[in-house]
Structure 1
Amino acid sequence: MNETFAESAVRKVPFFTQSSAFAELWPSIRAGVEEIFENGKFSHGAQVARFEQRLAEYTGARYAVGVNSGTDALVLLLRACGLAPGEKVLVPAFSFVASASSVVLAGGLPRFTDIDPVTYAMDPESAAGAVTSATRFLMPVHLFSHQADLRALGELARRHELVVVEDSAEAIGMRQGGRHAGLHGAGGVLSFFPSKTLGAIGDAGAVLTDRPEIAERVAALRHHGRGGRTLDHFPGISNETDEPGMNSKMDDIQAAVLIAKLGRLESDIVRRAELASAYSERLRDIPGIIRMPVVTAPSDYRRDVFYVYLIEVENRDALASHLAESGVGTETYYPVPLPFQPCFADLGYRAGQFPNAEAACARALALPLYPDLELAQVDRVCDLVRSFYLGRAR
């Protein structure tokens, strides 16, 4: 008997899709795109300025500066904060490679720390032990659903006079102590890669900061070092520049998509939390699952947001293959600790120096999580996980 379309949709669970959300938002996106074609300004134009304003309003940042990716946002932020050649930046050993490669691209050197096994963020005690006289910056990374302990890391930074820049690429909507992620130090970044909680249809990013001098410098560096649009005006084209910048302007089509999606961001965050709770309920007490994320209710001090639902499991790669054979997409975050990446091999780190990060790299697997996901699909994923470890479906 042939499967119905609905049955096939339940059985095949992609790791990420935004087709339903995109269809719902298409009329407003189309209006923004048509305006772009009428104006003939396809990057660094009116849609980008509008998005920067709305993003600043949502996050509470004094300034939001749009760029073409979260990676570029990190590089530009570090440069704008004055990272000098050879200065060291504390970076957690468990993160996407851009957290560390951005330091190198900005002229610095990453110095790695272990992570907290629950939040997957920089461990304050490990960070304290990694500080040297050459350490100038501290870069907490907020991953998956939790933020770093910014209170403890902020105290460490003050004690050693370190500049705090947040890799908050995944953390839109997250708050701690009443402040949005990215605004606890000199500045932070956001990524709008399509699968992010607020995702574009291509690459895009932003720098968040409350400091005008940093915002001004990022605004200049993103456009070859001479501005283009600064914070308050559109100067004429000029070849004059104080220092070499880069071409990291945000495309207006991405800005138009993000403006439309920003209007439903809060409902998307609520939906992600509901799906995360459903996963936790269904996966509880399955042998082979070592750790599931902690689902917490928002509080006056802390608000977490589920970007990724990450579990730690035995036989991670075999489970991923089992799910893939049944049409379920997963992602491995991250298979190799940053200090052991080939591009950082000359820094001299050894296996065993980062036990929590190394354990996560060997066991962590992300399951599908996005607003389009249906509860029947969550059931399907969980039944397959259960069948892998117990040899039978629920």
Structure 2
Amino acid sequence: MEKTLPLAEHARARNRTKGAPVPFFTQADTFRELWPEIRANCTRVLDRGKFSHGSVVAEFERALARWTGAAHVVGVNSGTDALVLLLRAAGLRPGDEVVVPAYTFVATATSVVLAGGVPVFADIEERGYGIDPRSVDAVATPRTRMVMPVHLFDRLADMRGVHEVARRRGLTVVEDSAEAIGMRLDGTHAGLLGTGGVLSFFPAKTLGAIGDAGAVLTDDDTVAESVRALRHHGRGGRTLDHFPGISNATVLPGCNSKMDDIQAAVLLAKLGRLDAGIARRAELSARYDARLRGIPGVLAVPGDAAPHPGGDRVTYVHLIEAEDRDALAAHLAARGIGTETYYPTPLHLQPCFAHLGHRAGDFPRAEAACAAALALPLHADLSDADLDRVCDEIEHFYAGRRA
């Protein structure tokens, strides 16, 4: 397997101007490398004149199904829509409760609302950022129908623990695996560890498009058929057999969530370099861990918490926990280094969920993570020299505070 793009990497290291900005994310070099293939794929789309829900989308779905091992991949227009359609296809009904972690991107919970359900929040693990199965057990009620663990940053949630609770309580397991491309448990890809899961192809993701796009993964034929109908205004599917003589029938109240063929054209080209990109991210993450571990003020690095047994680590985001997190982020920003705060406010304290009646202190581990977590630049185009500069500035920040 190709280790990385060595010529481009060396060129970046040579040509980097000392003190130049280090963006949180860029894929400019990757696009230059892949442009001939991307251009050829996009030209096919333009020549055919089918820009939505066309043959290139189907081609990408087949290629991604082979890569993940999924029986079905259904391309849609965003990771958020993928969650909404998956929840509906998995049988969520109005008023049903879905347990979700309090520490995650807001779309995890708002997708439940958009699908007609009620989010119920649970705390995260003591080490790592996955949902705590014990908290799931504590917050579930007789109205709870599903649990949706989230695979965050670089590792899977505790799926064995989640399934144990789900079996005992009769819950359906669906996965917010939006960040988890490449993550597997005992060889089974994320999103295929329950009824179904999703992927996001937001540009900064490990496999990123040039806009919004997403997919539903499932091994369940019925779920896949429902998602295919729901993404296209509820049209089609085998259920048409029950309505003879009706053409172009709408069998479900669906929406317009189809993937654009231009996005599929870009993703199809980038899929061929996905293994190399994952390997490069692993190299960078290990280098970060080695440089940052032990620095006073850096409270935790990703390598401190091992994946759950049988799971593997695939780094989408390199997240550290840091003292004076906001001051550190400001220090790095002043020196042209981009960071992101994941996440500034836990979901149970977001204004849109105020009606659920939660208060500060309800989920202490989620709240602690929100106060300390900081994501550093990590992408396949990041040079070793830029990474070292980020680490140098973090060292300087804490050395100055000690002084």
> Normalised by the shorter chain, which TM-score bucket?
over 0.9
User: Is 2:81 the partner of 1:72?
Assistant: yes
Specify the SS of the correspondent of 1:89: strand
Q: Structure 1 residue 188: deviation in Å?
A: 0.2
Distance 1:352 1:300, change over 3 A: closer
Give the match for residue 117 of structure 1: 126
**Residue number among 356, 368, 386 corresponding to 1:359 in the alignment:** 368
Q: Structure 1 residue 242: deviation in Å?
A: 2.2
Distance 1:9 1:27, change over 3 A: farther
Give the match for residue 269 of structure 1: 278
**Residue number among 107, 122, 136 corresponding to 2:145 in the alignment:** 136
Q: Structure 1 residue 110: deviation in Å?
A: 0.3
Give the match for residue 220 of structure 1: 229
Residues paired across the two proteins, number: 384
**Residue number among 30, 34, 37 corresponding to 1:28 in the alignment:** 37
Give the match for residue 3 of structure 2: none
Contact map agreement 1:44 1:229 (CA 8 A) in 2: no
User: Is 2:200 the partner of 1:191?
Assistant: yes
> Residues 326-374 of structure 1: CA distance to partner in whole angstroms, max 9, x if unpaired?
0000000000000110000000111111111000001100000001000
> Residues 244-293 of structure 1: CA distance to partner in whole angstroms, max 9, x if unpaired?
11000000010011111110101111100100010011112111111111
Contact map agreement 1:297 1:303 (CA 8 A) in 2: no
Specify the SS of the correspondent of 2:374: strand
Q: Distance in 1 between matches of 2:238 and 2:390?
A: 47
Q: Distance in 1 between matches of 2:67 and 2:101?
A: 28
Q: Distance in 2 between matches of 1:62 and 1:9?
A: 49
Q: Structure 1 residue 239: deviation in Å?
A: 4.9
Give the match for residue 348 of structure 2: 339
Specify the SS of the correspondent of 1:8: coil
Specify the SS of the correspondent of 2:92: coil
> Residues 201-220 of structure 1: CA distance to partner in whole angstroms, max 9, x if unpaired?
10000000001100000000
Q: Distance in 2 between matches of 1:61 and 1:333?
A: 29
Give the match for residue 215 of structure 2: 206
Q: What is the letter of the counterpart of residue 124 of structure 1?
A: P
Give the match for residue 383 of structure 1: 392
TM-score by length of 2: 0.92
> Residues 20-68 of structure 1: CA distance to partner in whole angstroms, max 9, x if unpaired?
1111111111111111111100010010000000111111000000000
Distance 1:229 1:72, change over 3 A: farther
Q: What is the letter of the counterpart of residue 72 of structure 1?
A: D
Give the match for residue 103 of structure 1: 112
Distance 1:7 1:241, change over 3 A: closer
Q: Distance in 2 between matches of 1:371 and 1:238?
A: 47
Contact map agreement 1:10 1:376 (CA 8 A) in 2: no
Q: Which runs of 5+ in 2 are unaligned?
A: 1-12, 240-245
Distance 1:144 1:373, change over 3 A: same
Give the match for residue 180 of structure 2: 171
> Residues 122-158 of structure 1: CA distance to partner in whole angstroms, max 9, x if unpaired?
0111111011100000000000001101011111111
Contact map agreement 1:197 1:269 (CA 8 A) in 2: yes
Contact map agreement 2:183 2:189 (CA 8 A) in 1: yes
> Residues 143-202 of structure 1: CA distance to partner in whole angstroms, max 9, x if unpaired?
000110101111111111100000000000000122100001110000000000000010
Contact map agreement 1:226 1:238 (CA 8 A) in 2: no
Distance 1:155 1:299, change over 3 A: closer
Q: Distance in 2 between matches of 1:351 and 1:182?
A: 32
Give the match for residue 314 of structure 2: 305
Give the match for residue 49 of structure 1: 58
Specify the SS of the correspondent of 1:137: strand
Q: Structure 1 residue 224: deviation in Å?
A: 0.4
Specify the SS of the correspondent of 2:165: helix
Q: What is the letter of the counterpart of residue 208 of structure 2?
A: G
Q: What is the letter of the counterpart of residue 79 of structure 1?
A: R
Specify the SS of the correspondent of 2:269: helix
Specify the SS of the correspondent of 1:372: coil
Q: What is the letter of the counterpart of residue 228 of structure 2?
A: A
Q: Distance in 2 between matches of 1:152 and 1:100?
A: 21
User: Is 2:105 the partner of 1:93?
Assistant: no
Q: Structure 1 residue 296: deviation in Å?
A: 8.3
TM-score by length of 1: 0.94
Give the match for residue 233 of structure 1: none
Give the match for residue 259 of structure 2: 250
What is the aligned-residue RMSD (CA, Å)? Answer: 2.1
User: Is 2:182 the partner of 1:153?
Assistant: no
Contact map agreement 1:144 1:308 (CA 8 A) in 2: yes
Specify the SS of the correspondent of 2:255: coil
Deviates more, 1:287-296 or 1:380-389: 287-296
Q: Distance in 1 between matches of 2:380 and 2:247?
A: 45
User: Is 2:339 the partner of 1:330?
Assistant: yes
Contact map agreement 1:118 1:293 (CA 8 A) in 2: no
Distance 1:295 1:42, change over 3 A: farther
Q: Distance in 2 between matches of 1:322 and 1:382?
A: 12
Give the match for residue 326 of structure 2: 317
Q: What is the letter of the counterpart of residue 159 of structure 1?
A: R
Specify the SS of the correspondent of 2:379: coil
Contact map agreement 1:114 1:356 (CA 8 A) in 2: yes
Q: Distance in 2 between matches of 1:224 and 1:307?
A: 32
Q: Distance in 2 between matches of 1:265 and 1:10?
A: 30
> Residues 68-105 of structure 1: CA distance to partner in whole angstroms, max 9, x if unpaired?
00000000000001101111000000000000000000
Specify the SS of the correspondent of 1:302: coil
Give the match for residue 234 of structure 1: none
Specify the SS of the correspondent of 1:165: strand
Q: Which runs of 5+ in 1 are unaligned?
A: 231-236
